Amino acid sequence: MTLVGSEPHFPYTRPPLSKAYLRGEVAIAELYLRPADFYRDHDITVHRGVAVEWVDLHGRRAGCDDGSVLDWDRIVFATGGRPRRVADPGLESAGNVHYVRTIEDVERLRRTTIAGSRFAVVGGGYVGLEVAAVLRRLDARVTVIEAADRLLARVTSPVVSEFFLRVHTQEGVDVRLSAQVELFQVEDGNVSTVVLGDGSRIPVDQVLIGIGMVPNDEVAARAGLDVDNGIVVDEFCRTGTAGVYAIGDVARHPDPLNGGLRRLESMPNAAAQARLVAEDILGRGRPYNDLPWFWSDQYDVKLQAAGSSAGYDTVAVRGDAMSGRRFSVFYLRDGVVRAVDAICSPADFAAGKALIASSAVVPLSDLQDPSVPLRRRRSFTSEAS
């Protein structure tokens, strides 16, 4: 087995980068999925700091940017993605613009974060908000600039969006919604001012861009694989070419909850698909139907989300979403529980996953009443019944 990765590190986990690692609470060694001697002991060759440039699907070869050529019987694209860049040539050379994807990105961000420094965070998604929370804990002055009319607009309900707006405002973040960046004013090689469409001018010392991710599917596309905002695979993570797989952030796979195809950007999804492909290679293949889930840490708040809220028609709020920091939101479609966002509510998260997996039909009054134990499943029916 051979692993090829463009970064200089052994494989590591990324979720702590915008959380504990940025806060300085986790060492690099704790990020690694396995110690270095694991690969040696299991006869796994690791090429670090090397990128695959081309793949020959018919000749079963892959060429790397160091000139090496690798033969393969099976090949797995686990190429992930990269931060979406702002289309502004001036930013490419600005010395105080940051993205968060790699260890080096976060180390550079940590070196420039000092108490009182002024940060503009462009993007009110999970990464932007997680970094904003850490920056406030480091006593930086933070302005979050979001183009949509609410935070986390693509991934959650207005109830949860309003909650995180309240939390970040209480923590001292200046949140600008429905705000379009008109200009990044660069002086002496650094962004000095962010100018918004309404004419507002935000003086800055540092800028963080968090506006989404682009899948690294170019090598697959050049090889002739089916690519559509990621590498298209079937329910076994197989591409249209025998022996060729794609997993994780780069894989666009069938969505068992809503139909069609979807691409998930989460570590649990990547890990589950990795196990599935290993099983398929060993002749024990099974279709991928794992329940998607995700988490986010911001200040003292832990959000745990499961399922897919796409197309929901009813929301059930369990607990105090208006003033507290502990509640849950259940998303229903045609009376069936499809997703849950649990805020500091691990029991609701666990129960929600079970309800989603069984396509449970639960009375709204039970979902909304914290005194009703949701894990007592016998009182509920399922869609199948």
What pLDDT is stored for residue 384 in this prediction? 45
In angstroms, the CA 28 to CA 38 distance is 17
Would you say residue 377 has pLDDT above 90? no
Would you say residue 381 has pLDDT above 70? no
Q: What is the mean pLDDT of the chain?
A: 95
Regarding the domain with residue range 300-382, which homologous superfamily does it belong to in the CATH classification?
A: FAD/NAD-linked reductase, C-terminal dimerisation domain (3.30.390.30)
What pLDDT is stored for residue 257 in this prediction? 84
Average pLDDT for 206-222: 98
What pLDDT is stored for residue 385 in this prediction? 41
Average pLDDT for 200-209: 98
Q: What would the pLDDT profile of 257-314 be if each residue is shown by its tens digit?
A: 888 999 999 999 999 999 999 999 999 989 999 999 999 999 999 999 999 998 999 9
Q: What would the pLDDT profile of 345-364 be if each residue is shown by its tens digit?
A: 999 999 999 999 999 999 99
Name the CATH topology of 85-211: FAD/NAD(P)-binding domain (3.50.50)
In angstroms, the CA 22 to CA 176 distance is 24
Q: Residue 330 corresponds to which amino acid?
A: F
What percent of the chain clears pLDDT 90, i.e. is strictly above it? Answer: 92
Q: What would the pLDDT profile of 45-101 be if each residue is shown by its tens digit?
A: 999 999 999 999 999 999 999 999 999 999 999 999 999 999 887 788 899 999 999
**What angle is formed at CA 173 by the lines to CA 168 and CA 178, rounded to 5 degrees?**
85
85-211 and 300-382: identical CATH topology: no
What pLDDT is stored for residue 382 in this prediction? 56
| Residue pair 315/330 in contact by the 8 Å Cβ criterion | yes
DSSP bridge partners of 122: 145, 209
What percent of the chain clears pLDDT 70, i.e. is strictly above it? Answer: 97
Per CATH, domain 2-81+214-281 is 1.10.150.170:
no
Average pLDDT for 230-238: 98
Quickly state the pLDDT bin for 380 (edges 50, 70, 90).
low
In angstroms, the CA 231 to CA 273 distance is 14
What pLDDT is stored for residue 165 in this prediction? 99
Output the six-digit token pair for 153.
Answer: 């607009």
Between residues 152 and 91, the one the model is more confident about: 152
Query: Which position has the token pair 């079970």?
Result: 354
Residue 342: its H or E element: strand 336-343
Would you say residue 163 has pLDDT above 90? yes
Report domain extents, the chain.
2-81+214-281, 85-211, 300-382
